[in-house]
Amino acid sequence: MITATPRPVAPTHTPDAARPAAFRVRPARAGDAAALLRLSEPFVRSGALRERPVHVYAARAADFLVAETPDGTLQGCLGLRVHAGPEHLDPQRPAPEHGGAAAGVLYNFCVSRQRQGSGLGARLLGAALAAARAQSLGALFTATTGSGRLFLRHGFVPARPGLAPRAWVCTLDPRRGARVLARAL
């Protein structure tokens, strides 16, 4: 039998700018609207996001969490919109698993191309999950035209649209082919 002592693995160096720890996740402000629009534009062009005018970002700034570099540049964002309880659900469908409590919808999730794969998206999603729990939401929903891998790794599962808040489901464009994912909280 031959044994060998493993060689120490040389640490890989990740530049500080690429490390998620170099970012601060904070609530967005109305003054971030133009930066949110710029961050979202590549995703709109690719068809992954719907186009929203800057005034919508300003009006809904309170929905957003942003990832900001020390110099103030936004590198990622994620909206969390709260929908009230059962009155927003389709009365013709069975009660959702979250008991009809208020539910949240995650939307406009984007991370700048140069920061993708750095863990920044996972940090934003974790912050959104914490915010949803702090608001005692029963469930979170999202729609994705992509693989949804990050959501699936964080406990989301495919869901019937009828389980989601009706006001949000009515805004989904069936031509986009988005899948609805959900997670009970």
pLDDT tens across 110-127, in order?
999 999 999 999 999 999
In the chain, the domains with their CATH numbers are 20-184 (3.40.630.30)
pTM: 0.81
So what's the pLDDT on residue 92?
Answer: 45
Question: Which class for 35: exposed (0-12), middle (13-18), buried (19 or more C-beta within 10 A)?
Answer: buried
